[in-house]
Amino acid sequence: MEIRVLRYFLAVAREENITSAAESLHVTQPTLSKQLMDLESELGKKLFIRGNRKITLTDEGMYLRKRAQEIIDLVEKTESDLTASDEMISGEVIIGCGETDAMRLVARVVKNMREDYPHIRYQFFSGNAEDVIERLDKGLLDFGILIGATDIEKYDYLRLPVTDTWGLLMRKDSPLAASPGIKPEFLRGLPIICSRQALIRNELSGWLGEDFGNLNIVANYNLIFNAAIMVEEGVCYALCLDKLVNTTGDSNLCFIPLKPLLEAHLHIVWKKYQMFSKAAEKFLEKMQGGDTINTDGCKF
């Protein structure tokens, strides 16, 4: 498979129309059609279902779309790293992160970097730990921010000098809103929406103890934004981390921490034996050379 042909394939998948895709690529429609047929012949798979007005992807086509985009992203990242000027530090640093207020630490490093290396660009990919790890392992990210009980031993990492606090997100008119802390028994019978990963990794099972199996989980979430809407509409309560949803001012929501306190540690990780671009090297130097000391005595 040629990179050029994969770009053609992605354009057709995006536009869902040969004519529109050909126009966006500045090639003729017959040329594009032949390239796609040659691709299907090369792979021995039908990638498209061709309708009168719309082209849709087969299951094999949807799989190739995901892989093709990853390949193109990696090619573009490699080109960016290799073509960066030797005299002037430039290029791109790609960081994957879950939802956490600890991104403020990264933001401060980026702000300092902008003063010293204004030609470095940054790309942030938001997702849960599974998403970040998948992209990190494929070389699509330089760094990942991982939260909580994630296996990080296969990576090099720095522990960030902050923790996130678990708690219960609810409406301010909830009977529990006046509680100083949420005990495990308070959750009995409540409709709960919880991070799917937190349940898979059993981050909450130790805190809940015997009550873990009695949780009334009505839904799972990946990122908190849509879960917060469910809470605001009175559908359920959300087990989540603090400072991810606005609970100040006119907000209808409030966050009450769990009692006893349950915290999640955070790490910035990268692949062992990683060959960094000059831009990524400078970013890591800034992360390692900060003035904040974490609980392990390491500089951040």
For residues 191 and 128, give the distance between their C-alpha atoms in angstroms, rounded to a whole number: 23
pLDDT for res 223: 85
Please name the helix (run of DSSP H) or strand (run of DSSP E) that holds residue 205, with its range, or none.
helix 205-208
On average, the pLDDT of the chain sits at 87
User: Closest by alpha carbon to 75, among 25, 5, 27?
Assistant: 5
pLDDT in tens, 87-120: 568 889 999 998 899 899 999 999 999 988 999 9
Put residue 184 in one of left, alpha, beta given phi > 0 → left and psi -120 to 50 → alpha. Answer: alpha
Q: Six-digit token pair at 11?
A: 């354009």
CATH among 3.30.70.2860, 3.40.190.10, 3.30.420.40, 3.40.50.1820 for 164-263: 3.40.190.10
pLDDT, tens digit, 9 for 90 and up, residues 242-252: 999 999 999 99
Which tens digit of pLDDT belongs to each residue from 136-163? Answer: 998 899 999 998 867 788 899 999 998 9
Q: Percentage of residues in the chain with pLDDT exceeding 70?
A: 92
pLDDT over threshold 50, residue 293: no
Q: Tokens for 140?
A: 């699509």
Domain over 3-81 is classified CATH 1.10.3720.10 = no
What pLDDT does residue 300 have? 40
Expressed in angstroms, the distance from the first to the final Cα of the chain is 43
Are 99 and 223 in contact by the 8 Å Cβ rule? The answer is yes
For residue 47, the one-letter residue type is L
Closest CA to 192 of 175, 173, 216: 216
CATH code of the region 89-162+265-288: 3.40.190.10
Answer yes or no: are the C-beta atoms of 66 and 6 closer than 8 Å.
Answer: no
pTM: 0.70
Q: In which residue ranges of the chain is CATH 3.40.190.10 found?
A: 89-162+265-288, 164-263
CATH 1.10.10.10 residue spans of the chain: 3-81
- What is the distance of C-alpha 222 from the center of its chain? 10
